[in-house]
Chains A and B, each alone.
Chain A
Amino acid sequence: MNDTFIISIVTFIYFFSALTYLTSFIFGKRQLDRAALVITVMGGTIHTAAIILRWIYSYRLGIGHAPLSNFYESLVFFSWAIVIVYLIMRKRYNNSLIGAVGIFFAFLPLAYASLSGKVIADIQPLIPALQSNWLISHVISSFLAYACFAISFGSSILYFLKLKSRKTFQRILPDLDFFDDITYKMISIGFVLLTLGIITGAAWADCAWGRYWGWDPKETWSLITWLIYGAFLHARLAGGWRGVKMSAISIVGFVAVIFTYLGVNYILSGLHSYL
C-alpha cells in the first residue's frame, strides 16, 4: 500500500482523536479520554508504520535513505514527533484539553502535507549535500525540539484562555499553575533537544561547508529561537518569573520556531534550501 495514502488516513484519525479529546473535556467524561488515547495510539502506530514503509520503498527505488529529506517528509515527521512527545508528557500531565490541543497540532502538518495538494509527496533521491550520517540525528533532535515547543505553545495559549475566559468556562479548566508547569517542562526539554539539533547541525556544516557556523539564515534563526527560550529559562530558573510573562515568551518562541522551520525557506534564501 502507498505510504502517502496511509498518511492521509492517519490525518483523519488524528482529527477524530482531537475531537474525542475535546468532547471528553467539555463533558468531563473520563471514558472518552481513554477512548481518545486508544485512537491516538492507533494513529501513532499506523503513522510509524507508514514512515517505515516509505523508508523501505526508497530502498526498493534504489535511492534508499531515511524519510527525512524533503518538505513532505519533514511535515510527516514533525507530526509524528508531536504525537510521541504528547504520549510521553501525558503520563505526568493528563488532561483532555492538552490532548485535544496536542493532537490537533499533530493533525495540522499532516493535513497540510496530504490534503493541500501543494506539497510534493514523491520519494526523491538525496542530493549530495544531504548525503551525510548527520542527517538522521540532526533532523530527529531538531523536530523533537520543535514538537516540545509546539506543546509548550499550546499550554501557553491555554494559560491565556484560562486567564481571560468567562467564569463558567474557567471552572472546567485546570489551574493556571498546571499550564505554567507544562510550558516550563516542555521548554526545558525542548531547549536541550534544540541545542543538540544545533550541535549536530554545526558538526554537519563543518563537514559539508567547511565551517561550523556561518550566519546562514537557518543557522541564525535557530540561534534566535535558542536565545528566546534561553531567556525564558533564565527568567524562570534564576529570576523566579511565573505566569503571564512566561507564557508570552513561550508564544514568541514558537513563532520563532515556525519561522526557523518554514519562514527561512519560503521567505528568505540560503544554503538550507531543502529544509
Chain B
Amino acid sequence: MFKKIYNFFASLKLTIFLFLFLAATSILGTLIPQGLSPERYQELYSPRLFSIFDFFSAFDMYHSWWFTLLLVMLSANVVFCTFQRIPRIWRLTFRGNKIIDDSIFESSPIRKTIALQKNLPGIEQQSADIIKTLVATPVKDEKDGRIYLFAEKGRWSRLGMILVHLSIIFILAGGLIGTIWGFNGQMLIVEGEQSDTVTLFGDAGMKKLDFSVLCSDFTIDFYETGMPKEYRSEVTIIEGEKEPISESIRVNHPLKHGGIKFCQATYGIAGVKNFQIVAKNITTKDESILQLNMMKKVRLPESDTFFAIAKFSPDYEGRGPAVLGVVIEPDKPHDIFWIFGDDGKINNQKEGNFTFMLKDFEKIYYTGIQVSRDPGVPLVWFGFLTILAGFILSLFLTHRKMWIRISENENGGEIKIAATTSGNRKDFEKNLERLLPVSGAE
C-alpha cells in the first residue's frame, strides 16, 4: 500500500502530467477574468455558464481547492523524486573512487577494449593524454604488472539537480508562508488625511495597522509629450508617541515600515477646491477674479449680486472641466448655468451684466497605496538563488570519470577503457573514438 503511494508520487509520469495539466488549467484563469464582482460575472456569462464556473471556483481559480491540490501534489512529487534520487547521487558524488577496480571495466556504461598486436612504446603516455583531454590529469597506480590510470572532474554537477528541486520546494513553501501569514491590500488616502486601515484584496475584509499613514501631498509629473513621468505620495508614518517618519513613495520605490511594504499603486481625484472665476462686467469691461470654494457665495464687484458654485464636472459634455454657477440677484429667480474654462466660449449669464470664465481650480487627489506584508519573501528569494546555483552546476559542469587499464605481455596486450559522464554520452564516445591510437576489436 505504502509502496504504491510512494511509487505514484515518485513517478515521472505524474511530474509530466502535473506540469502539462497545470499549464493547461492556468490558461483558463487568463481567459476568464479573475477577481471581479459577482454582478460583473453575471453580466459576462449566461446563468448556466456562471454556475459551472462558480462551482469550479473559476473566478479565483489560482486559489481554488483543486488548483491548490495540484500544487500540493507537485510539491509531494518533487519531494519524493528528489529524496529517491539523493542516495544514488550522493554516492556518485562523494564516494571515493578506487584507482584499481577491475570490475568497473565490466560494469561501466561506457566501455571499450582494445587488443594490442605488439607492445607499443609510449602507450602509457598516450593513454594519459587521452584521459587528460577528455577528463583531467590522471593519477596512476600499478598492480600485477598492469598500469591503472584514473581521473575525475565536475563532481558537483549532479548536486545541481538536487539543488534545483530543493529550490522549488523552498519557493512553494515561501509562497505558502506568504498566503498564511501575509496580507495584501490597498489604502486610499485623500491628501491631508490619514488612515490606519487596509482594505484587503479578494473580499478578505479590513486590516488595522499599528500606525497611521498620513498623505500630505500627491503629485503627478508629466513629460512634454503628456506621458506620466512620476507619481509621488508624500506620506508620514504616525505611530503613537514615536517621532513621525516622513517619506515619499514613488512607483518602483516603495516604503518599508515595520515589515510592511507600501507601493504607489493608483490615484484619483477626490474633489476640487480654490476655484478662480473671471467675472467680466459687460458694460464697464472690468474684469475681476473671484476666489471661492464650492457652495460659498461671494458678492460680485460693485453690485448687490452674489455668485456661487453649485457643482463641478471634470468633463462636461466633452467640453472640458466646468462648474455650475449660480447668480443670485435680489427679487429675481436664481440664474443657473455652466461655466467653462475655454476663452472661446463666453459663458453668459442669461440675463444680466456679467460673463464668467473658469480660470483655475485645484484638484484634491487621493492616493492608492498597495500595502502588503509577506514573511515568505526571504525564503522565496533564497529559493531563487539556489535554483540559479543549481542550474549553473548542472549546466556548466559535467561529471566525468574515466579509467584505463593497460596490460602488456610478450604478444602485445590490451587496453581497457571505462567511463561515466553526466553530459552527452554520444559526444563523449565520438571524441574518445577520435583520440584512440589504434583501432581495435571490441
Contact = CB atoms under 8 A, between A and B. Distances in A.
B391 interface: yes
Nearest to A223: B26
Interface stretch (A25-33, A161-169, A199-207): A199-207
A210 B251 contact: no
A273 interface: no
Given A210-B263, A234-B12, 15 more contacts: A125-B225, A127-B229, A195-B391, A199-B388, A203-B381, A204-B252, A207-B263, A208-B252, A209-B370, A210-B254, A215-B34, A223-B23, A227-B20, A231-B20, A256-B23
Contacts of B12: 234-235, 238-239
Contact of A206 (B27, B228, B250, B377): B377
Contact of B251 (A129, A230, A239): A129
Nearest to B21: A227
A131 B251 contact: yes
In the A-B complex, list the 5 residue pairs whose CB atoms are closest, starting with the nearest.
A128-B251, A231-B19, A210-B263, A227-B23, A210-B372
A248 B228 CA distance: 44
A220 B29 contact: yes
Interface in B416-442: 424, 426
7 contacts: A127-B228, A128-B251, A129-B251, A192-B391, A207-B254, A210-B262, A228-B19
A212 interface: yes
A189 interface: yes
A233 to B, nearest CB: 10
Contact of A231 (B16, B229, B262, B374): B16
Contact of A211 (B29, B374, B391): B374
A228 B250 CA distance: 37
Given A189-B395, A202-B384, A224-B27, A210 B34 contact: no
B250 A128 contact: yes
Contact of A127 (B16, B227, B253): B227
Pick from A209, A217, A228 the residue with the most CB of B within 10 Å.
A209
A132 B252 CA distance: 6
B230 interface: yes
A192 to B, nearest CB: 5
Interface string B244-255: 000000111110
Given A211-B372, A215-B62, A224-B23, A124 B227 contact: yes
B75 interface: no
A199 B170 CA distance: 14
Nearest to A221: B30
A102 B223 CA distance: 40
A264 B29 CA distance: 12
Contacts, number: 111
A5 to B, nearest CB: 22
Nearest to A229: B19
Contacts of A213: 175
B157 to A, nearest CB: 13
Contact of B16 (A188, A195, A235): A235
A63 interface: yes
Interface of B: 12, 15-16, 19-20, 22-23, 26-27, 29-31, 34, 62, 175, 184, 223, 225, 227-231, 250-254, 261-265, 370-372, 374, 377, 380-381, 384, 387-388, 391, 395, 424, 426
Contacts of B388: 192, 195-196, 199
Nearest to A240: B12
Nearest to B223: A125
A230 B19 contact: yes
A228 B20 contact: yes
Contacts of B29: 215, 220
Nearest to B185: A210
B252 A234 contact: no
A172 interface: no
A121 B219 CA distance: 30
B203 to A, nearest CB: 16
Nearest to A227: B23
A268 interface: yes
A209 B228 CA distance: 17
A210 B265 contact: yes
A234 B16 contact: yes
A224 B251 contact: no
Contacts of A223: 23, 26
A263 to B, nearest CB: 9
Contacts of A199: 384, 387-388
Nearest to A214: B184
A228 B24 CA distance: 9
A158 to B, nearest CB: 19
Contacts of A132: 252
